[in-house]
Structure 1
């Protein structure tokens, strides 16, 4: 069925709310409301698709839902389900427990919770939107622990800077302040989570320091020293109860500085201690806190934090899905589960641009959860031989990172410790075994440095056989936004650096790191490296002959927990050494099998689309429109045209419409002067014309280009004249990425197309049908590249390379009919501009239907099957492109050398 939009989901869920009683049918109706296939839901209802451990009281579908009806406490049941081996085994997106009065649900990817009366389900329909293929762009409320803690930390940070203005003048001042705040964060977390006794740190500050804050710095210095002292007898009596932490966090350093406090600073410190620090998420808070203390980043609080669902897009297909499938296959076999336990204990995770550790934290937590599920299942299988495990085998020392920001390194290490403590608490809840966090035995393998210039093997040694997964979200930065230093970084890894995005350096280095080894790589990155000219520049040196793309998520909007999400369109790429393992393309929540994933993220051969001077297919020439290069003197607005004709009506034959991309799409009107050579003398007698021609001549004479200077002698001429006195087709050079179809149109012979658009002349309607088809739009989006976020249409890259099979006259007639239908519908809505007609939320139904007829006919030129996804279209387009290029090469005469 067609994908549902938000309004459709709301309408479909609405009838489920407000009932007096509910039964088991609720879960099936709920799944149907979100567009789950009727056949699957029917099979689930009948039991053939139900993988639940207790099918009498539970309904479970792999990757979708684990639902339990209970007569007990739904909260207890949902908590039990969340970490049960059966749930980990089948990886559902949502876990639900209900007594048909209250409903509790957990989003397993985002950890969001829902606790509502079941009759209010319609009021909370957005919670389950991922079932309909819509990731929730949700926002963190002001009261959320992470945001509140970061903002309160920011207030203390500002107060201490005001009190200690000379601190940042020290060569190590900012680093010392960063270390100080990292220590505070640990103390607050420790006293709320059982590492310290309850409120131990906050109470000590409140009890042992003066109200005016004058001695807080000395007291905190003593506390930090105590936390780094192993023997309680070596500590002052008032601090003897503080435990030994170790792990380098409180190690005394020569550059340590504890800032002076005021009364307000002391009050803020104690106020921070009242927050619920056990609720913070280390994968989120680290990025937020980093923004607080980084100059210029405060307003972007959390903006560049990568959301958990997006992190899982790298982790799951890279290694986690395979591990869970292995867990599933060995679920009833101790001899398979024990080796799996050993395997995950040896896995190494490496993020070479780790920031504050988001990816490492999530990867660590996921491996710990899988470990817990395996241990719990082993205990179920061998009740006489209970699994006694005093320590997790998932070691922080197996998590590696490189980060250029010193403070982010400290936060990343601290976040890993916090994540470990949180998972230790879950371990204790499951197995009754307490794993103390302190003294910290691990220091982590996260190092400061420039990831592009540092040797990755020196950070995470790759001995060729270790199971290493390289992942992360390296900085993007388009070629125009890079500093001189960043250009220099890129130049260190590739000679083709001038037009490449900054993230390319990580892909090139990463491919070298994993080549000929067991290691694999997955990055979140902008989709620009899979489009346009960058494909040919970057990917031959990344893949070469021995690597392949193992999986890919096609373009999606980058989203996070921030109030203002960054406007970036991303892809996820998984790269590995060539193997026979399955390959997958993920698009719109659908997983497609692929034979070969090329750098355009299509199921097709590795092809590098380069500039072509003439069309590959039977298409007319498309080129730039006419370029004035006139200092604005040949071009007129409506009012300027009217004023000119009011004084010189004899000029009407020399005025023509003038349209570029912006004018055509937005329905604007402009005009241009086209004065024949034999009319220049007479026209120049009109002062307004003489003034304009003189202005053109002066503009061109000032140019540093010789070709422009030469045109000064003929100011009545356009610098470049492409116009022909026929009907023309205008193809905008740029168009909003929101549109399903670029507005392409026919123009009268009296309208001159400007060089801001592409133009073709004397074009038959069947060509128009091809250009306005979904197949052509898919081709554009894949190979055309972007200008900012807009589609960029190039005649040499997009149009000339577009593969069209030979067309019979009958097919051309059919294409003509559907093309004219689109034009007729547009004419019917002539009061609307192309921008309005092609707004995806406002597109008239009859125009959409007319385009659907075009799409159906054009699709039939490439395949007998009906396309379900654009990726299927693109796969066939690349196959035809490869075939046509091969045939073209075969027809070229063989060059013979001299005898």
Structure 2
């Protein structure tokens, strides 16, 4: 009752009735974490003028871990917070004061600044103790960050925000929404925790039987044996970033360990809690590969913060074994997909290094004022010598969220050399498959691999689970899944979500993803579908799933595996993918089209024609037009359509000159892919049928033949001998598709075979 007199308790009681979401621990954690990251970003921005990015990252990580150590009781009496407050007034003493403190934290012993004896931290974090000099304003930012309660920091999102704070290109995204913890768990649980819990359930059943027999020693031994298996279970994230998936896996395995220790205590094992001083689930079991050198130490730090937070729930600070930190080296700076002997710079015939636009830097066009690629912002092109599969550590589980890069964008995003090397190393992965499918293929290959001759034991890998874009069900990406599911020794999907919301960044559209979890052999699985979603743009989204069970096919649906069916030769060359622009400047509005060409009709002989992409077809059309000069030579275009030529020169040519392919630079006024295979057929039609390449619900639409279809559409142009009849009470209207022509109510075709829907 006395607590009711406290203002903070009164505020909490008031919020229960007036604003319950404000008490959500996830929301509180997100707000604290984001505030800290913003303050660190300010300090990083100031230091960039004088120091190397690697030194800045390591310095700030030492600072923030010291803040964390203070709030969990590893450092006494807000000593570091008080030290920073003093340094605001005496910034000249800041660097030597921190270096002195970090030396004691590394070695253990008496810390004069804190007037206390502290434990030995060791590990690799404080081996280098350099403190960078800061101005008073920057020291104040660190002091304000230290005043936050670091026990509320969520490691699963802190790493992402810290990496953005240290990256000049990503810093503007600090306010963007990060991946919610609940989404990460949604993949980690079926990939790792469910099979471990199945094992634990078997052990508990055995323990119950042994208890009935009065054999308590054997029961304790069975539980201890499982605890040993849990503490030697290894997890790999081959694209670990800042360690979010590894941290969540660690915490969930620690929860399972807690149940095991409770069971031992219930069985009368007096030494159960002593296991935490010896063998316990810890960061040495969690492996990560990451190509971004800045993210590697952050991932290591995230794991240790998460581990210590969990340990301190069950063990007092004084009982924590020393050293507090260990340098296990399980997070490695390494490319996960290819290894190679060297990178050689590509050069032209004159020996000049070849380069391309960096894919990011823009500048304003001097005439139009529009944003165009900056030709001076380039990056060199390299060839990867002797590319081969990269080595992955042997583990029991693989889980992760590899980069979202479409197969068609791999060259632009990763460079020609890397894309060619990746395709060369994994010849079975189609060129159009998304980048994540290279990770999927590698994990599947390892899951189905037999142990090398002479090797002891079986293949340790039990399951893998990946986040992919929801285009995994589309042709090229799906072929990777089909190949492994249709193999002589197949794998099966035991859990899958074909379409799930992911993060929504402030600078991007909402992302939809798929989750897939695979095991060896023929197995039934759980297929989850989203039945409700709300608050997706918040830090605490709500997504409810409906789960069905059965055999999951490569198309991520229940039912027969249709990929085993044979293709019909008669279906060849009746459908095609639309054109590819490779230049946004081709698209114009209706008013621009009329002004440039001096006409407003719609006809196939126009050089500016209606333009249709997938969203135009399935939603409200933009009514966009496109300049189609693909069948004209440059001189022809310049003489016959000078205004259009000048427009393309201003709006398309600058971007095309940065294209990596010579043919697209040389023929800059033409579409990147002009659709030469289907153009002649469309010219004979009054209308053609189109559908989107990717669609949750398949629809088919009639489109005027003067329209230019974009690559997001599939067009049909051969319907020989087929006619459709639509019957109703008032009229009998025939739509005939014969010899490639679309005809309306033409008597000469009424004798063809009619199919009534």
TM tier, shorter chain?
Answer: 0.5 to 0.7
In structure 2, the residue matched to 1:605 is: 561
Do the aligned residues in 1 keep the contact of 2:495 with 2:527 (CA within 8 Å)?
yes
Equivalent residue pairs, number: 585
From 401, 405, 408, the equivalent of 2:295 is 408
> Which structure: greater strand fraction?
2
Do the aligned residues in 2 keep the contact of 1:556 with 1:570 (CA within 8 Å)?
yes
**Distance (Å, rounded) in 2 between the aligned partners of 1:434 and 1:645:** 82
Matched, 1:285 2:158: yes
Do the aligned residues in 2 keep the contact of 1:521 with 1:575 (CA within 8 Å)?
yes
**Distance (Å, rounded) in 2 between the aligned partners of 1:318 and 1:818:** 57
In structure 2, the residue matched to 1:889 is: none
TM-score (structure 2 length as normaliser): 0.64
Aligned-pair distance for 1:490? 1.3
**Distance (Å, rounded) in 1 between the aligned partners of 2:32 and 2:496:** 31
From 255, 261, 279, the equivalent of 2:134 is 261
Do the aligned residues in 2 keep the contact of 1:535 with 1:608 (CA within 8 Å)?
no
In structure 1, the residue matched to 2:612 is: 661
From 221, 234, 241, the equivalent of 2:117 is 241
In structure 2, the residue matched to 1:230 is: 108
SS at match of 1:241: strand
Aligned-pair distance for 1:401? 1.0
CA distances 1:192-242 after superposition (whole Å, capped 9, x unpaired): 0111113121223444x471401211111111111112354xx66866634
- CA 1:166 to 1:125, structure 2 compared with 1: closer, same or farther past 3 Å? closer
Do the aligned residues in 2 keep the contact of 1:447 with 1:459 (CA within 8 Å)?
no
Matched, 1:754 2:717: no
Aligned-pair distance for 1:187? 0.3
Aligned-pair distance for 1:816? 5.4
In structure 1, the residue matched to 2:378 is: none
CA distances 1:70-129 after superposition (whole Å, capped 9, x unpaired): xxx9xxxxxxxxxxxxxxxxxxxxxxxxxxxx999xxxxxxxxx9734xx7xx879999x
CA distances 1:27-55 after superposition (whole Å, capped 9, x unpaired): xxxxxxxxxxxxxxxxxxxxxxxxxxxxx
Aligned-pair distance for 1:640? 8.5
- CA 1:344 to 1:457, structure 2 compared with 1: closer, same or farther past 3 Å? farther
In structure 2, the residue matched to 1:365 is: 251
**Distance (Å, rounded) in 1 between the aligned partners of 2:186 and 2:106:** 39
Do the aligned residues in 1 keep the contact of 2:291 with 2:333 (CA within 8 Å)?
yes
- CA 1:290 to 1:602, structure 2 compared with 1: closer, same or farther past 3 Å? same
In structure 1, the residue matched to 2:367 is: none
SS at match of 1:390: helix
**Distance (Å, rounded) in 1 between the aligned partners of 2:730 and 2:187:** 42
CA distances 1:155-194 after superposition (whole Å, capped 9, x unpaired): 2222333xxx3323xxxxx222211111111100010011
Do the aligned residues in 1 keep the contact of 2:241 with 2:296 (CA within 8 Å)?
yes
**Distance (Å, rounded) in 1 between the aligned partners of 2:399 and 2:298:** 18
Aligned-pair distance for 1:141? 7.5
From 701, 705, 711, the equivalent of 1:744 is 701
SS at match of 1:470: strand
* RMSD of Structure 2 on Structure 1 (CA): 5.3
**Distance (Å, rounded) in 1 between the aligned partners of 2:21 and 2:130:** 51
**Distance (Å, rounded) in 2 between the aligned partners of 1:435 and 1:291:** 36
- CA 1:720 to 1:179, structure 2 compared with 1: closer, same or farther past 3 Å? same
Aligned-pair distance for 1:546? 2.5
Aligned-pair distance for 1:340? 3.9
CA distances 1:430-469 after superposition (whole Å, capped 9, x unpaired): xx8975265225333111122223599966235xxxxx10
Tell me whether 500-509 or 529-538 shows the greater mean CA deviation: 529-538
In structure 2, the residue matched to 1:482 is: 413
Tell me whether 480-489 or 605-614 shows the greater mean CA deviation: 605-614
**Distance (Å, rounded) in 2 between the aligned partners of 1:181 and 1:501:** 35
Aligned-pair distance for 1:693? 12
Aligned-pair distance for 1:511? 2.6
From 173, 176, 189, the equivalent of 1:300 is 173
SS at match of 1:666: coil
**Distance (Å, rounded) in 1 between the aligned partners of 2:296 and 2:730:** 59
SS at match of 1:540: helix
In structure 1, the residue matched to 2:714 is: 793
CA distances 1:48-70 after superposition (whole Å, capped 9, x unpaired): xxxxxxxxxxxxxxxxxxxxxxx
**Distance (Å, rounded) in 2 between the aligned partners of 1:321 and 1:391:** 24
**Distance (Å, rounded) in 2 between the aligned partners of 1:195 and 1:374:** 27
**Distance (Å, rounded) in 2 between the aligned partners of 1:523 and 1:378:** 34
- CA 1:817 to 1:292, structure 2 compared with 1: closer, same or farther past 3 Å? farther
Aligned-pair distance for 1:371? 1.6
CA distances 1:774-796 after superposition (whole Å, capped 9, x unpaired): xxxxxxxxxxxxx6xxx643549
Aligned-pair distance for 1:509? 2.4
Aligned-pair distance for 1:360? 0.7
In structure 1, the residue matched to 2:472 is: 529
